[in-house]
Amino acid sequence: MITDTASVDPGATEHLRETQTSRRVIHQGRLLTFYEDDVTLVDGTRAQREVVAHPGAVAIVAIDDDDKVVLVRQWRHALDRALWELPAGTRDMDEAPARTAERELAEETGLRAKQIVPLATAPLTPGYSTEMMHFFRAFDLSEGPTDRDADERMDVERFDREGVEALVRRGEVDVKTMAGLGLAGWRTNVDGG
């Protein structure tokens, strides 16, 4: 759980505050907007910050009756390789995160869940992005058709704990997958050394 110390004591973070004084659009893309912000620190120091505005996303931890987690493997162009990940996706404008989770689970895996429960919401990369990741746990899964975007290609498989541990050791999963599994209480035994 993320603790907001400012809500406990509003003055607790004032010495860290940065005040935006101007903003310039660097690039407006289909999904992302890139900004360069001028900020002033509490002591008057001026600085620049680059910000990527993102509409937010969801990640779904779908574990079947055999205690296997559903992962999708897709090509990640920025890394020039494929990764195994939790089913996930970007929110549509004004779409409730739970609705996005239902939609993305069905689109990517063909699975439907009788119940989708929120686990947590947290900033994904707060050093430069506004993206908030909404994690969900999907229960009572049933099969159905997929409905992927025209440019989406992916494999779908179910992994037991040992299988996930092997993927983590080989660096074949992303951090949202490790975080989501941890939030769902589905811990793996991977030595960080």
Query: Which among 4, 32, 38, 19 has a CA at the least distance from the CA of 131?
Result: 32
Placement of tokens 């993320």 in the chain = 2
Work out the number of other CB atoms within 10 angstroms of the CB of residue 112. 15
Quick one: pLDDT band at residue 151, thresholds 50, 70, 90? confident
Domains of the chain: 5-53 (no CATH), 57-183 (3.90.79.10)
pLDDT at 193: 43
pLDDT tens by residue, 39-94: 999 999 999 999 999 999 999 999 999 999 999 999 999 999 999 999 999 999 88
